């Protein structure tokens, strides 16, 4: 039985990789920059995204997909920022996959978008294995979760392009050991860039958005080349 389960899991991931590659091609040719956000439940993904949208959507056409097992709560919160938001309800499924993203963007004119954000289901494990065709994957980790999390959930840190430490306004209250967290991230992933933010005080948010826009700009030449070639 076990080999058959492994085989089915491999098939699922292979099928996802194909769908993700197709999505990535669509995103590239439409010129939309796609950022996914992963974290534990309660690390602050939705609040972080609310603050990000306030800064990004003033200058760029932006849209959001948000995944949850149940409820439309997060989509409702994010819609207040005035950007198009679609909720993906996964039922009992613990992660988003590329086909869910594909179905969710149906009917959207990607060419009119500069940024698409995808907020994954709150889970530090399973989303690591599912490519969504995104350009960047950002893993959030709050100061309240403990400095050992990179060691205990290495896969998600290994597949991320950036780690964002959230709720730094609570650092003193929880006795957060910044040096230890940075050491633990470096132990798992020596080259991973780390930013620190507080959605409550606003600390670090401008730096994060500037970083994001530099990544987007860095991709422009490639996109231009790709367009010339087609």
Give the interface with a second copy as residue ranges (CB under 8 A). Answer: 1, 4-5, 8, 11-12, 15, 40-43, 68-71, 73-74, 92, 94, 121-126, 128-129, 142, 144-146, 148-149, 151-155, 167, 170, 173-174
Looking at the Cβ atoms of 12 and 109, the one nearer to a second copy is: 12
Looking at the Cβ atoms of 32 and 132, the one nearer to a second copy is: 132
Structure tokens, 185: 């991230």
Torsions phi, psi for 72 (to 5 deg)? -110, 15
Looking at the Cβ atoms of 15 and 183, the one nearer to a second copy is: 15
Min dist. Cβ of residue 11 to a second copy (A): 7
Min dist. Cβ of residue 141 to a second copy (A): 8
Looking at the Cβ atoms of 179 and 228, the one nearer to a second copy is: 179
Min dist. Cβ of residue 146 to a second copy (A): 5
Min dist. Cβ of residue 41 to a second copy (A): 4
Looking at the Cβ atoms of 93 and 226, the one nearer to a second copy is: 93
CA–CA dist 49, 37 (Å, integer): 9
Q: What is the 3-state secondary structure (H, E, C) of the chain?
A: CHHHHHHHHHHHHHHHHHHHHHHHHHHHHHCCEEEEEECCCCCCHHHHHHHHHHHHCCCCCEEEEEEECCCCHHHHHHHCCCCCEEEEECCCCCCCCHHHHHHHCCCCCHHHCCEEEEECCCCCCHHHHCCCCCCEEEEEEEHHHCCCHHHHCHHHHHCCCEEEEECHHHHHHHCCCHHHHHHHHHHHCCCCEEEECCCCCCCCHHHHHHHHHHHHHHHHHHHHHHHHHC
Min dist. Cβ of residue 211 to a second copy (A): 24
Looking at the Cβ atoms of 21 and 206, the one nearer to a second copy is: 21
Min dist. Cβ of residue 43 to a second copy (A): 8
């Amino acid at each position: 039985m076990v080999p058959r389960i492994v085989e089915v899991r491999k098939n699922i991931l292979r099928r996802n990789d194909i769908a993700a590659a197709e999505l990535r091609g669509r995103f590239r040719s439409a010129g939309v920059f796609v950022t996914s956000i992963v974290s534990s439940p309660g690390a602050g993904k939705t609040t972080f995204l609310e603050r990000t949208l306030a800064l990004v959507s003033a200058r760029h056409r932006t849209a959001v997909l948000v995944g949850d097992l149940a409820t439309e709560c997060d989509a409702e919160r994010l819609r207040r920022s005035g950007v198009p938001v679609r909720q993906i309800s996964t039922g009992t499924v613990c992660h988003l996959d590329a086909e869910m993203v594909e179905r969710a963007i149906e009917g959207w004119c990607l060419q009119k978008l500069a940024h698409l954000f995808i907020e994954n289901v709150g889970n530090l494990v399973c989303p690591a294995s599912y490519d969504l065709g995104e350009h960047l994957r950002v893993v959030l980790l709050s100061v309240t979760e403990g400095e050992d999390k990179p060691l205990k959930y290495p896969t998600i840190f290994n597949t991320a392009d950036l780690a964002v430490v959230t709720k730094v306004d609570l650092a003193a209250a929880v006795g957060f050991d910044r040096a230890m967290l940075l050491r633990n991230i470096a132990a798992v992933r020596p080259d991973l860039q780390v930013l620190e933010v507080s959605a409550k005080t606003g600390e670090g948010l401008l730096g994060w958005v500037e970083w994001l826009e530099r990544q987007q700009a860095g991709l422009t030449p490639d996109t231009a080349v790709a367009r010339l070639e087609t």
